[in-house]
Amino acid sequence: MKELPRRVSICASPRAVPATVHRARFDAIDVQREITEVVYEALRAKGLKGRGLEVQGAHLVGEVLGQLKSFAKGRLPEGRRGAFEPVVSQPDLWEIRVNGRRFGAFRLYHAEPEGGDPDIVVLRFHQKDAPGIPSESMSDVQNQVMADAQMVFESGLSQRWGHVDHCAACLES
End-to-end CA, the chain? 42
Contact assessment for residue 129 and residue 39, using Cβ atoms and an 8 Å cutoff: no
Strand, coil or helix: what is 22? strand
Domain boundaries defined on the chain: 21-162
pTM: 0.89
Residue 172's pLDDT band (cuts 50, 70, 90): confident
The 10s digit of each residue's pLDDT in 49-70 is: 999 999 999 999 999 999 999 9
Q: Count of residues for the chain?
A: 173
Strand, coil or helix: what is 100? coil
The 10s digit of each residue's pLDDT in 72-126 is: 998 877 665 545 778 998 899 999 888 888 888 899 999 999 888 899 999 999 9
Q: Kindly report the number of other CB atoms within 10 A of residue 12's CB atom.
A: 18
Element (H, E) at 152: helix 138-156
Q: For residue 134, is pLDDT > 90?
A: no
Average pLDDT of span 9-28: 92
Q: For residue 2, is pLDDT > 70?
A: no
